[in-house]
Each structure stands twice: as structure tokens, then as C-alpha cells.
């Protein structure tokens, strides 16, 4: 039996027990703890490094259920990685922060943080205190961010000339699975954002952009619909497949006879009672259909279902209908068509109808999967990007790629300044930080030089992933020029600043941790 303490005696000979320190757990301290943190962070960063740039490789992620995801999106890879180490979990959070705030650059921020920690490890081995390294990094990050402001250019965010926005979106999509048709995807993303953008507030409401996908066809068949796509069909197969100049009643009330709200029981004791009940139900359905028709509506979209009898009556009365439409789709249809959502039949009036130039049912492939397209809407601020692809994995990756492109264009609307990619911005910042380090008389100069070296990891990773000599300027697209402005390799200034800022904050936090306490066996 393990001893729990030591028996001792006071000056009067009375015994007392000294209990062992229960708080002494298995733990790492000092430099040993820092090295452990740096090793975990480097492992995550090295995993991500090969996914950087236009020639970055994809990762195949298999979850606990055996479902496979193929992606090179940094945030997706890290969110699906099964990590145990606390610092590795912080790296996952770092990527998520970049994704939430900017939407792009999730791989780069993790690679940069890993490089900063690798450089810090060498400084620790030379005996420099972690706080001095953290302070040096803070100064260097400030210099780098100021230099980014100096080297940035402004692009024109204009509804008529969208080429600068398309070029920026193409840079984002260049490393994705959709890069074979990245010009088309970039144009779709730009048109979608500009359609829903509020230029006065310089903001974009992503709730108005719906991204749908259907297996089949090619990525090149992806298109932007100025309206809404609903994964439903008309409720009866004999209803017309197309409604022009549609006046739409948008209903969130059940299409059925009213029921008492309290618990009730209906006794039907004879055939006459049953027929009376059936007649009452039919009259109620006919009254509801009459109310819809009297408003001038020629299409009903209902959040709830209705039974076969109601469906047959709708067909007889030449009123096409769609049932079981989800809440988010109902809202988008209301926004797109300028209609009002009606919670009760008694509130339905002609003023609350939505208008669409065309509502049609489309079917796909041999399986004849059906979807409903509502387009030529009164208010085309709600749009749908409809993705086609060979399999579900490609469609899901295309959705993630388009999310990044949409975020980049939104960032340009918020702040239209850009820097040039291909590692150009990082090299310029590294040179600026190195020059300032020479002027710094204190010990922090070593940390500033280390920061400059870490920034160069991004262009080196781009070169390695392209199978090139990392000592040369990086021309991944083989255009014969190393001028990123001529190659139209553009990144948003706000995204690049956020990368440097978040990576530095994370590294400073890690460098200040010198003790890990975990529950475990108490030390003997």
C-alpha cells in the first residue's frame, strides 16, 4: 500500500501526520515545457505546410464513422484532426479565429506560427529569456504590419469594373480543387457578393447567399441564379412544371382544418358522422384554396405538409403548390420575391404576395432528382450558387472554396487595400524587420531577426510545394515573370495583417507558459 504521509511528533511527544502534497502531479516545467509546446506546434504546422499555395497538396480526412473528406482548406483539416496535445488544440483555435474573422489564410497563419516557434526554440537554446523573445516578436510584428500599409495598393470596388475583384478571388481559388475553372468560379463569387452587398454600409450579408450542390455534371456547369433554389418539387406530378409571372403565397400555417389546442377526442359512431367529418374537411380545404385564389396568387409555398385530399383539390383548382419547405428557404424566398410570410390564412392579402418572373421544376440525371428554381425575382438581392460536380466530396470542397472566395471579396468591400502574393509581402516585411533589428541595441534584436527569418518560411514553402529551388524567386504559374502585380497574384491587406497579428499573439502566449499541470500519479 502506498504511503499517504509521514508520522511526526511535536515537542511534547504528540504524534501528527504530514500528508503528502496532493497537488504534486505529473508535470513539465521550465524549458522542458516550452520545448514540448514548440514540438507539438511544429508538428501541426509541418502537416499544414504542404497544403500551402497553388500547388499545395490535399489531405484525406477520415472521421470516426469512416466518412471521407478530401480538402486543402486549413480550417477544415485542423477541425477534423484528432489532436490530444493542448498546444496543438490552440493551433486549431488559431486557424478557426482566422477563418471566423477573415475566411481565408487559415493554412498560412498556422505555418507562420510554427515557423516563429521553431526560430524561438533556437533562441532559447542560446540562453535568451522567453519574455525577451516574446517582446522582440511583438516589436517585429508591429514593424511588419506598418510596412504592409506602406506597400499596399488600393483596388477599385466598382459594380461596372469587377476585374480587380475577380483577380483577387482567383488567387484564393488557385490552390483549391476548383482551380481548373477558377476564372468562372471567381466571376460567380464576385457577382454573388456584389448583388447582395450593401455599399453604403460597406458590408455583405452572407445569409442572402445560398450555396446548393447536386451530384452530376461538371464543375464548369456551376452557375449563379438570381433567386432561390429549393430542394423540393411541386406537390402533385400533374401540376405544371413551370409558372410564369408567379404571384406567390408564402404560408407558414398548416394546410389543414383547425384543431383545438387542448387534448381532444373525436367519437365517430356512424357512417353519417364520418361523411359529415369528411365534408367538413373538404369544405375547409376549399375555403383555404378560395382564400388563396381570391388574393390573385397562382402558386402556394407552404412550410407544412398537406394530405392527398388537399393536394388533389389544389390540382382541381389549378393552384400549383410546394410543401415541406424549410424555414431558412421560406425566409430567402420572401426576401427574393418581396413577399410577406403569412402565419394565418385570415391574414393573407394581395399585398403580401411575392412576385417572381419564373418558377420552374428542373430534374437531374437518370434518377430524376427534382429541384425548384425561383428566378427573375422582384428583389434579386437573394442569390443561389448552384454547384455541380462528379461526386459529393468535390461538391463539398467546392462549397468550402467558394466560401473562401466570398469572404475575400467581402473583405475587399470593407477595406479595398491589397498586397501582392507569391511570398512577395512576406519577403518585403522580412527585409523591413531585419533593417529595424540592426538599429535595436537591446537583446530583442535577436528575436526580431528570428521573426524576419520565420516570415521567409511562407515563400520557401510555396517553392517547395511547386518543386522549385527555394533560393529563387517563386513563379509558380511559369509566366516567366516574378512580378506578382503582373501575374495578378493578389491578397487582401486585412487578411495578411490578421495572419501576422494572430500568429504573433499565439506565439507570445505559448512562450509565456512554463508549467504544465495534468492530473496523474502523485510523485513519490
The model's confidence at residue 366, banded by pLDDT at 50, 70 and 90, is: low
pLDDT exceeds 50 at position 523: no
Q: Cα(167)–Cα(200) distance, rounded to whole angstroms?
A: 24
For the chain, what is the radius of gyration of the CA atoms? 31
Q: Cα(490)–Cα(154) distance, rounded to whole angstroms?
A: 11
Residue range 288-312, pLDDT digits in tens: 888 888 888 999 999 888 878 888 8
Mean pLDDT of the 150-172 span: 83
Catalytic residue among 71, 76, 106, 171: 106
| Candidate from 73-77, 115-119, 153-157 with smallest mean pLDDT | 153-157
Active site residue 47: no
Mean pLDDT of the 138-148 span: 93
Active site residue 106: yes
Catalytic residue among 50, 71, 76, 107: 107
Catalytic residue among 99, 135, 404, 475: 404
**Residue 411 grid coordinates:** 473583405
Mean pLDDT of the 178-185 span: 84
Q: What is the mean pLDDT of the chain?
A: 84
Q: Is 361 helix (H, G, I), strand (E, B) or coil?
A: strand
What b/e sequence results for 379-409 when a residue is b if at least 16 CB atoms lie within 10 Å of its CB, and e otherwise?
bebbbbbbbbbeeebbbbbbebbbbbbbbbb
pLDDT above 70 covers what percent of the chain?
A: 90
Supply the pLDDT for residue 473: 52
pLDDT exceeds 70 at position 403: yes
**What phi and psi, each to the nearest 5 degrees, are found at residue 115?**
-65, -40
In sequence order, what are the beta bridge partners of 516?
28
pLDDT exceeds 60 at position 24: no
| Candidate from 31-35, 228-232, 235-239, 298-302 with smallest mean pLDDT | 31-35
Q: Are 257 and 284 in contact (CB under 8 A)?
A: yes
How far is C-alpha 440 from the chain's CA centre? 41
Mean pLDDT of the 85-100 span: 86
Active site residue 76: no
pLDDT exceeds 50 at position 469: yes
- Which H or E run includes 399? helix 392-414
Active site residue 404: yes
- Which H or E run includes 245? strand 242-251
Mean pLDDT of the 85-102 span: 85
Mean pLDDT of the 475-502 span: 76
Dihedral sign, CA of 146, 151, 152, 156? positive
Supply the pLDDT for residue 365: 66
Supply the pLDDT for residue 524: 44
How much is the pTM?
0.78
Supply the pLDDT for residue 447: 92
Residue range 269-286, pLDDT digits in tens: 888 888 887 888 888 888
Catalytic residue among 73, 99, 135, 233: 73
In the chain, the domains with their CATH numbers are 28-155+419-517 (1.10.560.10), 159-216+382-415 (3.30.260.10), 227-379 (3.50.7.10)
Supply the pLDDT for residue 475: 58
Length reported for the chain: 524
- Residues with Cβ within 8 Å of 259's Cβ and at least 6 positions away in sequence, in order, are none
The model's confidence at residue 379, banded by pLDDT at 50, 70 and 90, is: low
Q: Are 385 and 402 in contact (CB under 8 A)?
A: yes
**Which residue did the predictor score with more confidence, 481 or 329?**
329
Amino acid at each position: 500500500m502506498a504511503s499517504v504521509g509521514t508520522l511526526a511528533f511535536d515537542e511534547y511527544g504528540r504524534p501528527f501526520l504530514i500528508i503528502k502534497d496532493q497537488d504534486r502531479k505529473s508535470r513539465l516545467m521550465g524549458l522542458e515545457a516550452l520545448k514540448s509546446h514548440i514540438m507539438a506546434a511544429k508538428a501541426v504546422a509541418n502537416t499544414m505546410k504542404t497544403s500551402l499555395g497553388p500547388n499545395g497538396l490535399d489531405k484525406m480526412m477520415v472521421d470516426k464513422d469512416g466518412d471521407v473528406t478530401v480538402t486543402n482548406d486549413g480550417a477544415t483539416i485542423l477541425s477534423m484532426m484528432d489532436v490530444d496535445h493542448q498546444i496543438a488544440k490552440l493551433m486549431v483555435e488559431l486557424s478557426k479565429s482566422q477563418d471566423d474573422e477573415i475566411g481565408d489564410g487559415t493554412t498560412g497563419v498556422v505555418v507562420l506560427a510554427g515557423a516563429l516557434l521553431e526560430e524561438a526554440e533556437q533562441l532559447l537554446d542560446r540562453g535568451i529569456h522567453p519574455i525577451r523573445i516574446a517582446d522582440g516578436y511583438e516589436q517585429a510584428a508591429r514593424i511588419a504590419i506598418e510596412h504592409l500599409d506602406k506597400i499596399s495598393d488600393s483596388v477599385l470596388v466598382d459594380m461596372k469594373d469587377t476585374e480587380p475583384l475577380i483577380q483577387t478571388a482567383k488567387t484564393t481559388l488557385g490552390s483549391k480543387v476548383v482551380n481548373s475553372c477558377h476564372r468562372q468560379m471567381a466571376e460567380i463569387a464576385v457577382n454573388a457578393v456584389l448583388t447582395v452587398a450593401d455599399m453604403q454600409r460597406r458590408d455583405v450579408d452572407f445569409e442572402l447567399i445560398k450555396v446548393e450542390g447536386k451530384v452530376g455534371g461538371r464543375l464548369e456547369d456551376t452557375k449563379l441564379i438570381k433567386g432561390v433554389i429549393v430542394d423540393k418539387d411541386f406537390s402533385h406530378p400533374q401540376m405544371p412544371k413551370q409558372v410564369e409571372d408567379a404571384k406567390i403565397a408564402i404560408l407558414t400555417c398548416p394546410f389543414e382544418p383547425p384543431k383545438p389546442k387542448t387534448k381532444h377526442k373525436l367519437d365517430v359512431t356512424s357512417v353519417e358522422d364520418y361523411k359529415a367529418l369528411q365534408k367538413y374537411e373538404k369544405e375547409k380545404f376549399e375555403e383555404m384554396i378560395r382564400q388563396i385564389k381570391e388574393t390573385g396568387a397562382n402558386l402556394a409555398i407552404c412550410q407544412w405538409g398537406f394530405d392527398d385530399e388537399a393536394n388533389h383539390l389544389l390540382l382541381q383548382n389549378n393552384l400549383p403548390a410546394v410543401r415541406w419547405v424549410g424555414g431558412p428557404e421560406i425566409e430567402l424566398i420572401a426576401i427574393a420575391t418581396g413577399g410577406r410570410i403569412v402565419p394565418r390564412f385570415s391574414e393573407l392579402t394581395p399585398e403580401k404576395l411575392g412576385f417572381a418572373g419564373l418558377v420552374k421544376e428542373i430534374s437531374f440525371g437518370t434518377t430524376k432528382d427534382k429541384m425548384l428554381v425561383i428566378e427573375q425575382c422582384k428583389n434579386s438581392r437573394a442569390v443561389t450558387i448552384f454547384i455541380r460536380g462528379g461526386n459529393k466530396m468535390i461538391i463539398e470542397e467546392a462549397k468550402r472554396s467558394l466560401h473562401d472566395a466570398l469572404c475575400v471579396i467581402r473583405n475587399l468591400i470593407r477595406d479595398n487595400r491589397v498586397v501582392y502574393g507569391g511570398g512577395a509581402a512576406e519577403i518585403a516585411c522580412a527585409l523591413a524587420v531585419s533593417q529595424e533589428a540592426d538599429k535595436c541595441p537591446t537583446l530583442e534584436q535577436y528575436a526580431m531577426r528570428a521573426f524576419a527569418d520565420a516570415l521567409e518560411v511562407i515563400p520557401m514553402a510555396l517553392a517547395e510545394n511547386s518543386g522549385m529551388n527555394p533560393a529563387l524567386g517563386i513563379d509558380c504559374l511559369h509566366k516567366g515573370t516574378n512580378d506578382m502585380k503582373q501575374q495578378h497574384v493578389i491578397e487582401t491587406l486585412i487578411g495578411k495583417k490578421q495572419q501576422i497579428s494572430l500568429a504573433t499573439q499565439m506565439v507570445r502566449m505559448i512562450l509565456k507558459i512554463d508549467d504544465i499541470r495534468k492530473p496523474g500519479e502523485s510523485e513519490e
